[in-house]
Amino acid sequence: MTSETQMRQAMQAYIDAFNVSDPQAIADLYADDATVEDPVGSAVKSGKAEILKFYKMAVATGAKLALAAPIRTSHGNSAAMAFDVKLNMPEGKAHIQVIDVMTFNDAGKFTSMRAFWGKSDMVMTP
């Protein structure tokens, strides 16, 4: 089982890779058969190729992430983090409040990521 320290380190690495616009580093945090559902209710991206494609698009928006609270782990193989995203949308600059929940395999790789945010969690900013 992945330790709490490993889960926190992987999730911090996710934020750090996002903030330097490195989609490959983000994708490398995932297991080969992982899934991404961002936001929850959208089409699920499956496997490294789809996940890498998704993150290439995501970092192209100039997205920057900042933790809104400490990363929370569990007694199992999951962890969650609340964070703020600032990015450029076709309509202008936006701010989204998000909670990501990741599950991990024994190697410490993400097996799934689900991003919880709805329309009311995104606001356009000047």
**Catalytic positions, please?**
14, 38
Q: How far apart are CA 88 and CA 111, in angstroms?
A: 28
Q: How far apart are CA 61 and CA 57, in angstroms?
A: 7
Of 98, 103, 111, 99, nearest to 79 (Cα)? 103
Q: How far apart are CA 28 and CA 33, in angstroms?
A: 12
**86 Cα distance to chain centroid:** 13
For 38, the enclosing helix (H) or strand (E) is: none
